[in-house]
């Protein structure tokens, strides 16, 4: 199937589509490093367009690719998801703040302190609401291009929190546009570890077929329970074992700064809570449940990784169990990128590309529902 890739990033979903038998002939993204990454690995097989899809039409895309209407059979893509992320709506709505205040009040009352006098929370940075964030509108822009090009099928991908009540209207608007154009849709909420990815990454997929019945959910290939039919879940240790040599050393992996000295005291699979009285830590550094769960979070070699973030802060995990930051090649392996896949740009750019990507093996499972 000739395939158009929107919001291609560094090509995670594209790789999965190719594994499933699709022929990706055009990739569109507005990040040049990501397109350079695709160019390096794809070796010029696909047309690459650096553009904002809001400024494109279906006919202009087909013209740029040298194709006619009807020749694109599949459109794949996932619009930027930052405006739909949990971090955004938790801080915006105050849910996380209220939870923390409640815990602090309980603690203060137990210790006989005045909660109001003791309360000294840092102010939250102003955040753009999901309704004001222009990235939210890219969901409908993708639907518009599907309607204009009319491929036989499409795959839409986004974070699970797009189904949150605050965000769901954007997903429903997308489905409304494509269903009006004649597509029957199926919605899948999947977690990547059940498809051979050494990482727990929950995503929503909408798959649409033009004038055809919807498909069943992708078939899981792995299980966290014993099974004679499915393979065991892939753990972090398996996925990145071959990259532990100093040959793969990156200067940025060295942890320095305020919390560096505490890392040896955090067991694999734990976070900052290991340094609290809750965990029995002598001279506690933190109070449990006062920070986000991924603060100082360490991988466990015998478990899948947590979600690899695209723009983590300096103390946001997951970190390696050997008390260092993950190498970019390890992040790519945890995302299920092929070992030979190369990334263009500095470390920050590579981390962003890898963290934003759809795990290829997860993408493969979804596109297989169309190609087979």
Query: Would you name the residues annotated as active-site residues?
Result: 81
Please give the Cα distance from 295 to 319 (Å, whole number).
10
Place of tokens 């498809």: 195
Please give the Cα distance from 84 to 75 (Å, whole number).
22
Yes or no: say if 230 and 204 are a contact pair by the CB < 8 Å rule. Answer: no
Cα 6 to chain centroid distance, Å, stands at: 16
Q: What residues pair up with 203 in beta bridges, in sequence order? A: 159, 190
Yes or no: say if 276 and 284 are a contact pair by the CB < 8 Å rule. Answer: yes
């Amino acid at each position: 199937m000739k395939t158009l890739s929107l919001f291609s990033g560094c090509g995670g979903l594209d790789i999965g589509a190719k594994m499933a038998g699709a022929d990706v002939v055009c990739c569109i993204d507005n990040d040049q490093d990501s397109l350079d990454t695709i160019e390096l690995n794809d070796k010029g097989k696909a047309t690459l367009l650096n553009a904002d899809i809001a400024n494109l039409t279906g006919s202009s895309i087909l013209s740029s690719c040298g194709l006619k209407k009807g020749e694109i059979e599949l459109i794949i893509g996932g619009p930027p998801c930052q405006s739909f992320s949990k971090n955004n709506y938790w801080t915006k709505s105050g849910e996380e703040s209220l939870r923390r205040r409640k815990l602090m009040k309980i603690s203060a009352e137990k210790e006989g302190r005045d909660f109001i006098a003791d309360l000294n929370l840092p102010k939250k940075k102003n955040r753009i609401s999901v309704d004001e964030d222009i990235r939210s509108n890219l969901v409908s822009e993708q639907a518009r291009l599907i309607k204009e090009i009319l491929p036989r099928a499409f795959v839409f991908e986004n974070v699970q929190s797009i189904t949150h009540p605050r965000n769901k209207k954007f997903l429903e608007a997308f489905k409304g546009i494509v269903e009006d154009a004649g597509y029957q849709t199926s919605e899948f909420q999947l977690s990547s570890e059940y498809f051979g990815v050494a990482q727990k990454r929950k995503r929503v997929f909408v798959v649409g077929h033009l004038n055809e019945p919807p498909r069943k959910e992708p078939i899981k290939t792995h299980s966290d329970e014993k099974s004679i039919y499915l393979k065991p879940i892939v753990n972090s240790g398996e996925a990145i074992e071959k990259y532990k040599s100093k040959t793969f050393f990156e200067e940025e992996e060295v942890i320095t700064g305020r919390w560096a000295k505490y890392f040896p005291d955090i067991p694999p699979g734990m976070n900052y809570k290991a340094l609290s009285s809750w965990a029995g830590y002598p001279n506690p550094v933190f109070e449990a449940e006062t920070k986000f769960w991924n603060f100082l979070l360490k991988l466990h070699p015998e478990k899948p990784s947590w979600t690899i973030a695209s723009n983590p802060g300096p103390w946001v995990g997951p970190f390696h169990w050997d008390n260092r930051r993950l190498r970019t090649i390890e992040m790519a392996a945890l995302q299920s990128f092929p070992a030979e896949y190369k990334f263009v740009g500095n470390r920050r750019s590579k981390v962003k590309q890898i963290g934003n990507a759809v795990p290829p093996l997860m993408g493969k499972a979804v596109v297989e529902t169309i190609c087979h």
